Amino acid sequence: MSSAAISVHGVTARVPAKINLELVVGPRRADGFHHLATVFQAVGLHDDVTVEAADDWGITVNGPYADLVPVDDTNLAMQAARLLASEASIDVPVHITIDKDIPVAGGMAGGSADAAGALLACDALWGVGSSKAALEDLAAELGSDVPFALLGGTAMGSGRGDQLAPVLGRGRYHWVLAFSDVGLSTPKVYAECDRLRANRRVPEPAPSAAMMTALRSGDAASLGRALSNDLQPAAFSLQPRLEEVLRAGMDHGALGGIVSGSGPTVAFLVSDTEQGLDLAVALTASGSAPAVERAVGPVRGAHLITAPSGPSGPSGPRASVGSTGHQTGHTGPAGLRSS
Ligand code: C5P
């Protein structure tokens, strides 16, 4: 993570990416969203969102995906900051700096992570002191996945994915993430899912017993078998190459593999660090995925890694640094990302 994460002039929140271990997509609702029954897991791939008081609102994005992120009012982190400012009647503009490691339009809720980070960091910078429930309400206004980015861990999501209940599961899981170099638009993937199911009756979504049993047991092989995603056929239909990526990972011995959310990231579950390294090298060497990274989950949700500055100046080093679960470093030959 870049040195901006330890800025002492502002407040930095660290926020994880997510994988949907299960994503059951129900009927389309009148508001255009779909009823979901989903199980989220936060994994150790993070964005750091730093906010500093400034003369005017602004945003800077650093990292490998910076060029793909809008730096105007359409940025979800900016919308989050302005929403909190308006709710709390704050008149102090901020400059937001995002150190981005979560891929853009990758199905890992990177934009949602940035929004959650901006909410948490601005709340601390401005000394608003919002309750957890108040921040969750604002998060849900910003997007379906934003509340989970605040919560982290492993959680069941219902409604449009924004109503959360933590899952008390066991286990620490090793993931290998195969990124695509072309993003997928979430609304387009949902629309394709509707198109593919146009002639079928779609039942109300419910979580599977197999997923809950696997999480309770903490057994990675059972979890691998229980992974499922109703958006996967739609992601395959829009990016047929993803099916080959999934097959390549399974052929190399992954315990399970799944398109993450609306894709195109494909997440593979492996038994341990060593198998993760082997799979990352194999996927890279085969040319199946342009970039591969490893991460463990579950990890905690959005949290501050610098204390707010007092009126007399910066307040010093990080208030706390949690275990990120992010496995850094090159894991094989050229092509693998490290961060
Ligand atoms: O809430 P969020 O902004 O992440 O949603 C992006 C888009 O994904 C929505 O506009 C909608 O097209 C689709 N979506 C959906 N049902 C959900 C969540 C998202 O149809 N439960």
- pLDDT surpasses 90 at 87: yes
- State the closest ligand 1 atom to the C-alpha of 262, by its place in the atom list counted from 1: 8
Q: What is the reported pLDDT for 5?
A: 37
Whether 178 contacts 281, CB under 8 Å: no
Residues with CB under 6 A from ligand 1: 32-34, 36, 143-145, 160-161, 186-187, 190
Q: Choose one of 25, 28, 35, 160 to mutate for the ligand 1 pocket test, by most ligand atoms within 8 angstroms of C-beta.
A: 160
Catalytic residue among 48, 99, 101, 145: 145
Q: Measure the CA angle with vertex 81, ends 76 and 82; round to 5°.
A: 95
Q: What is the pLDDT of residues 183-239, one digit of tens each?
A: 999 999 999 999 999 999 999 999 999 999 999 999 999 999 999 999 999 999 999
- The atom of ligand 1 lying closest to the CA of 143 is 1
Neighbours of 278 (CB within 10 A): 16
Structure tokens given for 41 = 């897991």
Q: Whose CA is nearest to atom 3 of ligand 1?
A: 143
Would residue 72 show up in a list of annotated catalytic residues for this protein? no
Q: Is residue 18 annotated as part of the catalytic site, yes or no?
A: yes
Among protein residues, the one with the nearest Cα to ligand 1's atom 11 is: 187
pLDDT at 309: 53
The tens digit of pLDDT for each residue in 131-149 reads: 999 999 999 999 999 999 9
Residue 217 alpha carbon to ligand 1 centre in Å: 31
At residue 332, does pLDDT exceed 50?
no
**Mean pLDDT score of the chain, rounded to an integer?**
89
| pLDDT bracket for residue 322 (50, 70, 90) | very low
Rounded to the nearest angstrom, the distance between the alpha carbon of 285 and the centre of ligand 1 is: 35
- The helices-and-strands tally (H runs, E runs) of the chain is 10, 12
Distance 262 CA to ligand 1 centre (A): 10
Span 23-70, pLDDT tens digits: 999 999 999 999 999 999 999 999 999 999 999 999 999 999 999 999
Atom of ligand 1 nearest to the CA of 159: 21
pTM above 0.75, yes or no: yes
Separation of 34 CA from ligand 1 center, angstroms? 7
Q: What average pLDDT does the segment 89-93 reach?
A: 95
Q: Cβ neighbours of residue 223 under 8 Å, at least 6 residues apart?
A: 21, 171, 173, 211, 214, 215, 255, 256, 269
